[in-house]
Amino acid sequence: MEQRKLDIIRNLLRDNIMPATGCTEPVAVALCCAKAKELLGQIPERVELMLSKNVIKNAMGVGIPGTGMIGLPIAVSLGVVCGESANGLDVLGCAKDNLDLAKEWMDNHIIEVNPAETTEKLYIECIAYKGNDFSKAIIAKNHTNFIHLQKNNEVIKHIELEEKADNLNNQSLYNELKAIDIFNYATTAPLEEIDWLMESVRFNKLASEEGLKGDYGLRLGKTLLNDEELSLRKKVIGRTCAASDARMDGATTAVYSNSGSGNQGITCTLPVYEFGIEMGKSQEEILRALMLSHLMAIHIKQYIGRLSALCGIVNASMGAGCGIMLLQGASFEQIGFHIKNMINDITGMVCDGAKPSCSLKISTGLNAAFDSTTLAMRNIVVNKTDGIAEKDVDNSIENLGRIGRYGMDKTDELILSIMTSKRS
């Protein structure tokens, strides 16, 4: 593979697979507040937030780890009283030892939340005030990307936010990659370059074990695994859903995220690992399948956008299916069949915010992936005249991206409107 594409892939992996404690939208808000506090040089007396609607949607109903509470106020307060921006998406790891202090600050200080006037789907602006001083921090595009830092009138950092620069045909150098490049890297990269992915397995397995021990969320994973007729499919899906049950209901266990989402990271990791173990595959086979799963999910997500009304389990379960197929000896052509089958299946699954019941969407996505891979392994694929899939797998992925990035904007607005005006 040419060096330029190798560099792109390595950058994608570095920027999109990392540990995170808690749902990444409220975590990113806490991270922004922590940075604003550090710029201010003291604990603020008031915090003003301007957030994109997608961030608001994903921060409203999700459990904040180590608190037994949901929503933004406690996440903001933790970011203010104990958060350290150097910890990135692990910024809420301080919750356990500082919860009382955070509650006290929350009860006695002002947190103002407003919708941001921006078309950028991931946008977090925090202004922290103390006396005559203020500081400002802005995160945009991805969950740890600071584009503006300011103390009073001194601008320390500023990167212009080009909101229209994400056109799919002109999006970035990442569009140089094709699905075959992802497949080739996963199947030929030196093992010492990809063996770090076993750390994602370790983290995400711990989250699954926690979900099976406690009564988190809907207890979907635990319920599936208690079924008397426990098939391989149900075992794999149950162990995966258990991790989401725990994570989305406030467990303090960190997980490895994918494309800024812990649930996507869980979905790309655990089904592939558990399937490989059940099938008696070697560590090298499992590692290469994990790489294909994670990297294909990231590749597809580049077209959809970081946050969207299209649920991220769509791209993550497609990635997981690719990994499961590789463990069965599938060719690239067959993996393309799977992707196209999935595109004509669960495209349109909406994201209605981060919440404990997200494990249901993981179950739906993985069941679809198992159906899709069963067909693809038998060389059965949707017709090129069906739906939005085309003969070429890359064109099919681009079509999915157009729907997720542009076609569902009105859906996003309607979902947020319903979420913020429930009648009971």
- Each residue of 100-151: pLDDT tens digit? 999 999 999 999 999 999 988 899 999 999 999 999 999 998 899 999 999 9
Name the percent of the chain lying above pLDDT 70. 97
Q: What is the pLDDT of residue 162?
A: 72
Between these two residues, 320 and 309, which has the higher pLDDT value? Answer: 320
Q: Is 147 exposed, middle or buried (0-12, 13-18, 19+ CB in 10 A)?
A: middle
Q: Is 387 exposed, middle or buried (0-12, 13-18, 19+ CB in 10 A)?
A: middle
Q: Is 273 in the same domain as 402?
A: yes
Q: How would residue 169 be classed by pLDDT, with cut points 50, 70 and 90?
A: very low
Q: What is the pLDDT of residue 172?
A: 53
Inside any domain, residue 268: yes
Q: What is the pLDDT of residue 186?
A: 98
Q: Round the CA-based radius of gyration of the chain to a whole number and report it.
A: 21
Q: Tell whether the model's pLDDT for residue 250 goes beyond 60.
A: yes
Q: What is the pLDDT of residue 43?
A: 96
Q: Tell whether the model's pLDDT for residue 166 goes beyond 50.
A: no
In the chain, count H helices and then E strands.
17, 10
What CATH number is given to the structural domain containing 143? 3.30.1330
**Cβ contact 390:399 at 8 Å:** yes
Q: What is the pLDDT of residue 167?
A: 40
Q: Which residues of 397-417 are buried (b: 16+ CB within 10 A; e: fewer)?
A: bbbbbebbbebbeebbeebbe
Inside any domain, residue 4: no
Q: Which two tokens stand for residue 180?
A: 């075959």
CA 222 to chain centre: 23
Q: Tell whether the model's pLDDT for residue 422 goes beyond 90.
A: no
Q: Tell whether the model's pLDDT for residue 266 goes beyond 50.
A: yes
Q: What is the pLDDT of residue 251?
A: 87
Q: Is 138 in the same domain as 91?
A: yes
Q: Is 233 in the same domain as 146?
A: no
Those residues whose C-beta lies under 8 Å from the C-beta of residue 388, and which sit 6 or more positions away, are: 343, 344, 347, 396, 399, 400, 403
Q: How would residue 174 be classed by pLDDT, with cut points 50, 70 and 90?
A: low
Q: What is the pLDDT of residue 173?
A: 56
Q: What is the pLDDT of residue 13?
A: 94
Inside any domain, residue 109: yes
Q: Is 336 in the same domain as 370?
A: yes
257 DSSP 8-state letter: E
Q: Is residue 155 within a helix (H) or strand (E), and if so which, with residue range?
A: strand 154-158
Inside any domain, residue 424: no
Q: Give me the domain span that covers residue 38.
A: 22-158
Q: Mean pLDDT, to the nearest integer, of 17-32? A: 90
Mean pLDDT of all residues belonging to the chain: 92
- Give the C-alpha separation, 38 to 60, whole Å: 25
- Give the C-alpha separation, 408 to 388, whole Å: 15
Strand, coil or helix: 156: strand
Q: Is 107 in the same domain as 174?
A: no
Strand, coil or helix: 399: helix
Between these two residues, 121 and 172, which has the higher pLDDT value? Answer: 121
Of 355, 352, 361, 366, nearest to 323 by C-alpha is 366
Q: Could you identify the residue written with the tokens 């052509």?
A: 333
Q: Mean pLDDT, to the nearest integer, of 365-376? A: 98
Q: How many CB atoms lie within 10 A of CB 194?
A: 19
Q: Which of 4-18, 92-106, 367-381 has the highest mean pLDDT?
A: 367-381
Q: How would residue 21 be classed by pLDDT, with cut points 50, 70 and 90?
A: confident
Q: Is 142 in the same domain as 181?
A: no
CA angle 206, 207, 208 (to 5 degrees): 90
Q: How would residue 55 be classed by pLDDT, with cut points 50, 70 and 90?
A: very high
Inside any domain, residue 57: yes
Q: Which two tokens stand for residue 189?
A: 């990269």
142 DSSP 8-state letter: S
Q: Mean pLDDT, to the nearest integer, of 182-196? A: 97
Q: Mean pLDDT, to the nearest integer, of 308-329? A: 96
What CATH number is given to the structural domain containing 238? 1.10.4100.10
Final residue of a domain: which of 158, 179, 210? 158
* Distances 43 to 32, 90, 130, 310 between C-alpha atoms, Å: 14, 20, 8, 38
Q: Is 134 in the same domain as 197?
A: no
Those residues whose C-beta lies under 8 Å from the C-beta of residue 120, and which sit 6 or more positions away, are: 52, 140, 141, 161, 163
Greatest alpha-carbon pair distance for the chain in Å reads: 69
